[in-house]
Amino acid sequence: MPTGQTKLDAASPPSYSSTVPELAEVEFYRKQWNPGLGGKIRAVALHSGKRIFRGSDTSTLEKFLPGATLQKSEAHGKQMLFRFSKQLWLGVHLGMTGTLRVAPSGFQPGKHDHLVLHQRGRALVFNDPRQFGRLRFHQGLDVPGWWAKLPPALTSDSFTAAVMGKFLQRHRQLPLKAALLHQAGFPGIGNWMADEILWRGRLHPRTRAGEISEKKSRELWRVVRFVCREACKIIGRDFSDPPRGWFIHERWTAKGRCPRHRELLPRATIGGRTTAWCPKCQPEPVSRLRRS
């Protein structure tokens, strides 16, 4: 894998990309606009009427954003929030193909560059060919309502073992794979992270969420925290690959093997997504709920 800078220049996805940005990839893209922190927006160029702006009045964005300063940004699961002076906020959801990048000044937007914020010496660019993402504009003293209502971020103190346990109990019939992909409980977790977490937690992806013991649930919580933090650190920094020994490197190929003891990994669609697991590390449970 080339360096993060090379990848950034090429605006290409990582070698392991599932095409849908997950928590760590979102963190990476959030930082791409960091060079613009503290800088004033001098002009805004956007493709009004595009689906990406649904529910937002782009004319107010064009009217108020010029003259405002980019103050800070935050990522939460698959969402990002950029705060500007003058009580202005921009919410960014990358959808499947959205990316953020910085371009040199004088940048001319291409067909898929739906929002460009021109600053002195640079342009902050949002690009999204397929427009499953979303850009939302908000004016007000406080964060937008939709942001305030997001569930606890997985890397925050408010995501406790108890919070996670309660969520699993509320969705007790779901296979764990589906529960982990549920954004209301695990914001930012996508396909590869879910498989990584279950393999590390030695849990079969078809295990019902309500059927794991309290001890296993605590272990699962620890693994969720570990994978999220490490992925944010490694991928979120420069889009580097996670270290060897991670499950992610094996799950993409038909010849993938368990990093622990080289068992060939079967695959099946579980929770609506292609799932790989190790039959040795993650034996299929005999479900009590399914029998009843």
Interface with Zn ion (CB under 5 A):
258, 260, 263, 278, 280-281
Which residue among 7, 21, 196, 211 is the active-site one? 21
Quote the least distance from Cβ 277 to Zn ion, whole Å: 9
Query: Would you call 101 a catalytic residue per the annotation?
Result: no
Euclidean distance between CA atoms 120 and 150, whole angstroms: 34
Which contacts of 159-162 are long-range, i.e. CB under 8 A and separated by 24 or more positions? 159/224, 159/225, 160/221, 161/217, 161/218, 161/221, 161/222
Quote the least distance from Cβ 128 to Zn ion, whole Å: 38
Query: Would you call 273 a catalytic residue per the annotation?
Result: yes
Of 193 and 258, nearer to Zn ion (C-beta) is 258
Which residue among 78, 134, 200, 206 is the active-site one? 78
Query: Would you call 74 a catalytic residue per the annotation?
Result: no
Query: Would you call 25 a catalytic residue per the annotation?
Result: no
Which residue among 22, 27, 196, 250 is the active-site one? 22
Of 54 and 280, nearer to Zn ion (C-beta) is 280
Of 42 and 257, nearer to Zn ion (C-beta) is 257
Of 259 and 271, nearer to Zn ion (C-beta) is 259
Quote the least distance from Cβ 177 to Zn ion, whole Å: 17
Quote the least distance from Cβ 210 to Zn ion, whole Å: 25
> Any idea which residues carry the catalytic annotation?
21-22, 78, 273
